[in-house]
A and B are shown apart, each in its own frame.
Chain A
Amino acid sequence: MSGTFIGMPAFPRAARAAVHDATLRGNLRHATHTIRGKRAQAVAELADWQQLRDAGKQIKDHTLRHLDRYLEQLERSVTAAGGTVHWAADAEEANRIVAGLVKATGESEVVKVKSMATQETGLNEALAAEGIHAYETDLAELIVQLGDDRPSHILVPAIHRNRAEIRDIFRERMGRWGRAAPQDLTDEPADLAEAARLHLREKFLRAKVGISGANFMVAETGTLVVFESEGNGRMCLTLPETLISVVGIEKTIPTWRDLEVFLQTLPRSSTAERMNPYTSTWTGTTDGDGPRSFHLVLLDNGRTDALADDVGRQALRCIRCSACLNVCPVYERAGGHAYGSVYPGPIGAILTPQLRGTTSEIDASLPYASSLCGACYEVCPVAIDIPEVLVHLREKVASQGGHLWEKAAMKAAALAMDHPAAMAAGERIASRTRALHPKRPPGAGAWTDSRDLPDLPAEPFRDWWKKNRT
């Protein structure tokens, strides 16, 4: 994955800053609670939601099981339709391919459709190093790019910003990148949208190269599909002469027919809409219509490693709806940046350590960034059992050394618990010495910063039982 986020502190430290940032917490709380309520309503409208959820899961599982076959079919279909397929084993290779393709056009500017895959590879930074300017055209991505910021949500990258902050960013920064925002710009949504529209229109009309990701790739026809809400993506997909799409290999589905399920579950899960506002599909090239050359870069970047893990591979079912982020109590307090990855929230906590491995401090801390409350699993439209994968990844982290003190503690506890007499003796000692236990013991650390420990009882239950019931 991209080096963009390397150097982020481990999750608990990064989260601490967010927890104590009142504006950020207010922004996140407001946004996630609004969308969460709407999603619940949109989902409740469908009597067959559980069947749709199961169908989505089955389609994805089937495709992943036979991914080699479907990817080859996809390559044949794309090629037959006039496109060119490139295979990228990692982020660096994907970026090199894209940079080469852009340079071959002689252009030094590209417009981009919002794409998680190119965020993951750090494409914008890689292109910049080659002297190529990549302009984000999704409104929220534009806000993030103008603000020299990082996205903090999969679907709403600027969720951590309120409209006053956005107005300031537009006023200060837009002029540097293209058409400037009016200096008397207000923070009314309509005014902000108009400023963005005028700024972006100039870019759309000038661009000769467009770069996108895709939500789905249909193997039988070689068709790529993008779901979006603004129509800006469609401008990038149709106006330029060259279109380059960078897509993770797990986005493959076998047939057009399979789209039917996701056309229902994705919009309802992500934006709480019954139908997606703009669904664009493109297949190779067509004379006199749309881009004259089309390139598909198929990205692995750790996905085959995840595929090889029989518990973890279910994360590859993810359709990036971000419903799990919007219900997650940890994400709501910690914010997206704390996850140190383009994939934040519960899905990021299981996807990122699988794509990047668990050797870095941040990646080893991600599987623990959850209270295992299960709200994410409950809303997931493809039924990814996120708590199960979190615990599975914790096992990996623990087996590579874990967090120092805990391995010994866990082993000691398990040993004592397998010897009831030892456990009972421990309880008894704790009870008898209870007058000596301070309410805020030193070393209990953060626990006692905001919570008191309970008083220990005069005798454990098993002693009461012995006295009163035997």
Chain B
Amino acid sequence: MRVALFVTCVNDAVYPATGIATVKLLERLGVDVAFPAGQTCCGQPQYNTGYRRESEPLVRRMARVFAGYDHIVTPSGSCAAMIRDTYPRIARRAAAEGRGTELTEAAETLVPRVYELTEFLVDVLGVSDVGAYFPHTVTYHPSCHGLRLLGLGDRPRRLLAAVKGLDLRELPRAEECCGFGGTFALKNPDVSAAMGADKVRDATSTGADVLCGADNSCLMHIGGILHRQDAPMRALHIAEILLSTEAEPHP
């Protein structure tokens, strides 16, 4: 089984610990992980801001870089959804505009092989107990794209529930958007901040010390508010929790 990591541009530049945790976790579960160095970004920032044509070269790049791998695993629900849900749309528009089927082929080769990390663990590896130990109270925020576009369902929470020492608290109004939304946070800062503040209020009401998610872009937004408020809670990616063991606990 040839498995490639798509680390995503945000994780590569800002949250390498998530990428490292993903690699080590998969290796602990017996997966041989490759990291094709030609990878960059899925093109979501361009596409969602209205620059579809600018995202097209990145669709082609993704298909080229990840050719030949059985599975492409990414610790980002949003980026996985970009490939699975949006690449076919980009391809359809390109074809409708008379620019051929090249993007359709690129999308078709990628879509069935792309997995968000928790999907890969539960659906492909068939595990929900990854042997982790994390003695903290945790609440889980299911980011919108993982929740609605990927349909991750209870996979992340099943994985967390199996972690030894972990006390999982239900997040009220979990399905509500945290207000990040890529460039939305820049274009509509007041609404974005108000949504984030409400999310933080709901999260801290659980009394948990950790807010866990499967998307570092949402966690950057929520974590930034927590940090500013000096809240007794930190935001952490699920890969880092799942990597933590009794022998090597998360710092």
Contact = CB atoms under 8 A, between A and B. Distances in A.
Interface of A: 11-12, 15-16, 19-20, 25, 310, 329-330, 333-334, 367-375, 377-378, 388, 391, 393-399, 402-403, 406-407, 410-411, 413-414, 416-418, 420, 423, 427, 430-431, 445-447, 449-454, 456-457, 459-462, 464-465, 469
Contacts of B17: 457
Contact of B183 (A369, A406, A407, A431): A406
Given A15-B191, A460-B16, A414 B61 contact: no
Contact of A451 (B12, B16, B55, B228): B228
Nearest to A15: B191
Given A329-B179, A369-B188, A457-B15, A451 B221 contact: yes
B177 A454 contact: no
Given A12-B190, A330-B191, A394-B50, A461 B148 contact: no
Contact of A446 (B41, B50, B144, B193): B193
Interface in B34-82: 35, 37-41, 43, 45-52, 54-55, 57-58, 61
A292 B194 CA distance: 54
B19 interface: yes
A374 B12 contact: no
Given A371-B177, A403-B187, A454-B223, A411 B54 contact: yes
Nearest to B143: A373
Contact of A450 (B41, B149, B187, B197): B197
B155 interface: no
B73 to A, nearest CB: 14
Given A371-B177, A418-B40, A446-B186, A410 B195 contact: no
10 contacts: A11-B188, A333-B195, A370-B181, A395-B50, A397-B50, A407-B51, A410-B51, A445-B189, A446-B193, A454-B224
A11 B187 CA distance: 10
B50 A398 contact: yes
Given A371-B177, A418-B58, A457-B16, A391 B189 contact: no
Interface residues of B, number: 67
A374 B85 CA distance: 12
Contacts of B148: 373-375, 377-378
Contacts of B11: 461
Contact of A414 (B7, B54, B181): B54
A452 B9 CA distance: 20
A450 B228 CA distance: 7
Residue among B48, B51, B148 with the highest chain A CB neighbour number at 10 A: B51
A451 B54 CA distance: 29
A330 B188 contact: yes
Given A330-B191, A372-B48, A451-B193, A430 B177 contact: no
Interface string B95-106: 010000000000
Contacts of A395: 50-52
A417 B40 CA distance: 5
Contacts of B197: 450
B61 A333 contact: no
Residue among A370, A371, A413, A430 with the highest chain B CB neighbour number at 10 A: A371
Where chain B touches its partner, the secondary structure class is: helix
Given A374-B148, A456-B14, A394 B194 contact: no
B111 interface: no
B177 A420 contact: no
B161 interface: no
Given A450-B196, A469-B35, A333 B191 contact: yes
Contact of B46 (A396, A403, A410): A410
Contacts of B43: 414, 417
Contact of A423 (B9, B50, B179, B195): B9
Given A19-B194, A460-B13, A447 B186 contact: yes
Closest 4 CB pairs of A and B: A371-B181, A446-B189, A394-B50, A451-B224
B167 interface: no
B162 interface: no
B20 A464 contact: yes
Interface in B169-186: 175-177, 179-186
A61 to B, nearest CB: 17
A445 B54 CA distance: 26
B192 interface: yes
Contact of B225 (A15, A374, A411, A451): A451
A455 to B, nearest CB: 9
B220 interface: yes
Given A454-B220, A459-B16, A391 B225 contact: no
B227 interface: yes
Nearest to B11: A461
Given A372-B181, A391-B50, A414-B55, 9 more contacts: A333-B194, A371-B179, A375-B144, A394-B49, A414-B57, A420-B39, A454-B224, A460-B12, A464-B19
B23 interface: yes
Interface string B16-30: 110110010000000
Given A418-B40, A427-B13, A368 B193 contact: no
B191 A410 contact: no
A411 B190 CA distance: 26
B89 interface: yes
B16 A417 contact: no
B177 to A, nearest CB: 4
A452 B224 contact: yes
A418 B38 CA distance: 9
Residue among A397, A431, A452 with the highest chain B CB neighbour number at 10 A: A452
Contacts of B189: 12, 445-447, 449
A398 B187 CA distance: 14
A410 to B, nearest CB: 4
A16 B190 contact: yes
Given A375-B177, A459-B16, A447 B185 contact: yes
Contacts of B224: 451-454
Contacts of B41: 413, 417, 423
Contacts of A464: 16, 19-20
A388 B193 CA distance: 24
B7 A461 contact: yes
